[in-house]
Amino acid sequence: MTDDIFYVFQHTCGTKAKFEYDNLLKNIFMVLFSMII
């Protein structure tokens, strides 16, 4: 029972972290792009 909760918790945090990581990459790309222009 606790293993299932831990698995779901870990999976949810992993997905959220990946989403925030993608947003961070997009923000950095936009900053670099605006500097070039």
Instruction: Specify the pLDDT at position 4.
Output: 86
Instruction: Specify the pLDDT at position 34.
Output: 93
Read off the pTM.
0.53
Distance in Å from the first CA to the final CA of the chain: 55
Instruction: Specify the pLDDT at position 32.
Output: 93
Cα–Cα nearest to 22, from 30, 11, 12: 30
Instruction: Specify the pLDDT at position 1.
Output: 60
Place of tokens 């918790």: 9
pLDDT tens digits, residue range 1-37? 678 888 888 888 778 888 899 999 999 999 999 998 7
